[in-house]
Structure 1
């Protein structure tokens, strides 16, 4: 179980890091022209950049607390926050009728829910 949770956490951290770096460093006009990035045209640059920074922090929060054994409870808390973020993403893409992206967000949500459930429960770092 521990190995499955580490793999899921690593995958989720890579997804968060890639999304965060993209939102933080790619210009908004390029993001809005990219497939799946049309929603950024409706949001301010500050909002998109802030979201990118939060995604990078999520990637860090999924890995470092457990690796460094400093507040490892932050791993499932971060995964739970990622679930909330994916609900927002599903709503955003659903309103834009981008149902393929909603499906991707559901997949990410399920990974995050697995990590949160596992690290709060049977795969807890304190067990």
Structure 2
């Protein structure tokens, strides 16, 4: 189970690092095209949260410094993902809502495992 949790952590971290960096670095015009439902300033804020969450999934566990931050990062990303599921569902973007829900489930599994029986 520990290997599965690490795999989920790495996959989620890569996804959120890429998505977050894109939101942070893209110009506002491109953000408006890609994320029509979210104002650019909010998208930049979400991107920052995603990058910090991605780092939080890996760095505390690897360094051994405040490893409790790893499940807290998973919870934070789950909250962001819950909002994304609602947003995609309201926009009738069913495929994106399902993908986001799967990522939400993965983040919750990491939070459960790292807070519970497989804590660092």
TM-score, length of structure 1 as denominator length: 0.89
Deviation digits for residues 80-115 of structure 1 (CA, Å, limit 9, x no counterpart) = 111111110011111111111100110100110110
Q: Distance in 2 between matches of 1:96 and 1:32?
A: 15
TM-score, length of structure 2 as denominator length: 0.94
Q: Select 1:89's aligned residue among 79, 84, 87.
A: 84
Q: Give every structure 1 segment of 4 or more consecutive aligned residues whose post-TM-superposition deviation is greater than 6 Å.
A: none
1:9 matched to 2:2? The reply is: no
| Cα displacement (A) at 1:38 | 2.6
- After superposition, residues 105-120 of structure 1 pair within 5 angstroms as 105-120=100-115
Name structure 2 gaps, 5 residues minimum: none
Name structure 1 gaps, 5 residues minimum: none
Contact kept in structure 1, 2:31 and 2:43, CA below 8 Å: no
Q: Distance in 2 between matches of 1:26 and 1:116?
A: 30
Q: Distance in 2 between matches of 1:104 and 1:57?
A: 21
CA-atom RMSD in angstroms:
1.1
Question: What corresponds to 1:38 in structure 2?
Answer: 36
1:69 matched to 2:64? The reply is: yes
Question: What corresponds to 2:22 in structure 1?
Answer: 22
Structure 2 SS opposite 1:123: coil
Residue correspondences, number: 120
Q: Select 1:51's aligned residue among 38, 43, 46.
A: 46
Structure 1 SS opposite 2:66: coil
Q: Distance in 2 between matches of 1:46 and 1:100?
A: 25
